[in-house]
Amino acid sequence: MSNLENLCCPLDQSALQRQERTLVCAHGHSFDIAKTGYVNLLPVQKKHSKDPGDSKEMVASRRAFLSNGYYDPVIEAVLASLPDSLASANSLDVLDAGCGEGHYLRQLTEKLSATRDVSAVGLDISKWAITDASKRSKTIDWIVGSNAHVPVTSGRFDWLICAFGFPVFEEFHRVLNDAGYLLLIESGADHLIELRQVLYPEIKPYRATFAEGIEGFDLVQEKNHRFSFSLSTQEDIGQLLSMTPHIHKAPYEGRKAAQALQQIDLTADIKLRWYQKQGKSHAK
């Protein structure tokens, strides 16, 4: 069951205690638990826009696309690459930071729970994403909040996932325990190359992210995982487009050409990078 424990007040970072349908801190700030079970820990003062994160439409597209299973090989690749100490642990405390509508966290939690206790938290700045996620899993704690100020106690997690998201490494470092792992899932050089060739007049050269390393973390494993899939309806192609940044970045002509496609064979090229938090003596 979701329990909403070990959370912090987003206004003053003090511990939140549950009082029936509300979380309350020692200074009297209170946050109601929504009917579907999530809690919004993104106060107006910390919002940079009225409706931050993915829109209702983007969330609906991602849900529809992912629930068709097109990206499920990513989940298999994550499980296959799990570091030994996580794979053999009897219990796992995991955070998906920027979890979207929760497809990956839900699947991973379900699979890993077969052989160990899993306590999972999904955090996203989009209230639409978290509302959707909270309707479909009651065993995960779902929180509206920002990676910039993760509203949880320090040193809590064994594992933090950031998939196609917006990492804030200082915060990730803080909320991981001393030997905790950070998994970054990102696009590789050829990710959706066939779609990008339709969208853009010219494909920009691939630039690796965080090539200089990440302060406070050691890179312990890097894997590229490629697989192919085909979309054979305009609806599926439109949903994929709507859940990628290309929907905003691609020129109008490119988007029009993509939206007119009836079928496309695609390459998924995913980069999985596992980092381990450096010991206390190394961390900043």
Ligand X SMILES: C[S@@+](CC[C@H](N)C(=O)[O-])C[C@H]1O[C@@H](n2cnc3c(N)ncnc32)[C@H](O)[C@@H]1O
Residues forming contacts to ligand X in the complex (CB under 6 A) are: 53-54, 62, 98-100, 103-104, 124-126, 129, 146-148, 163-166
Nearer to ligand X, 62 or 173 (CB): 62
Structure tokens at 210: 């965080």
Which residues have C-beta within 8 Å of that of residue 212, sequence separation ≥ 6? Answer: none
Nearer to ligand X, 69 or 279 (CB): 69
The CB-of-54 to ligand X minimum distance in angstroms stands at 4
Q: What is the DSSP letter of 11?
A: T
Q: Within the chain, where are the H helices?
A: 56-67, 72-81, 84-87, 103-113, 127-136, 169-175, 193-199, 234-242, 246-249, 252-259
Using a 10 angstrom Cβ sphere, with 0-12 exposed, 13-18 middle and 19 or more buried, the burial of residue 74 is buried
Nearer to ligand X, 134 or 146 (CB): 146
Nearer to ligand X, 10 or 100 (CB): 100
The CB-of-148 to ligand X minimum distance in angstroms stands at 5
The CB-of-52 to ligand X minimum distance in angstroms stands at 7
Q: Given strand 30-32, what is the order of strands in its sheet? A: 16-19, 22-25, 30-32
The CB-of-147 to ligand X minimum distance in angstroms stands at 4
Q: Given strand 157-163, what is the order of strands in its sheet? A: 39-40, 141-144, 117-124, 91-97, 157-163, 176-187, 264-277, 217-231
Q: Check residue 22 and give left, alpha or beta (phi > 0: left; psi -120 to 50: alpha).
A: beta
Nearer to ligand X, 11 or 24 (CB): 11
258 DSSP β-pair partners: none
Structure tokens at 218: 């050691």
Nearer to ligand X, 134 or 147 (CB): 147
What are the phi and psi torsion angles at 13 (to 5°)? 65, 10
The CB-of-63 to ligand X minimum distance in angstroms stands at 9
Binding residue ranges: 25, 29, 71, 101-102, 191
Binding residue ranges for Zn(2+): 25, 29
The CB-of-20 to ligand X minimum distance in angstroms stands at 27
* 175 alpha-carbon distance from chain centroid: 15
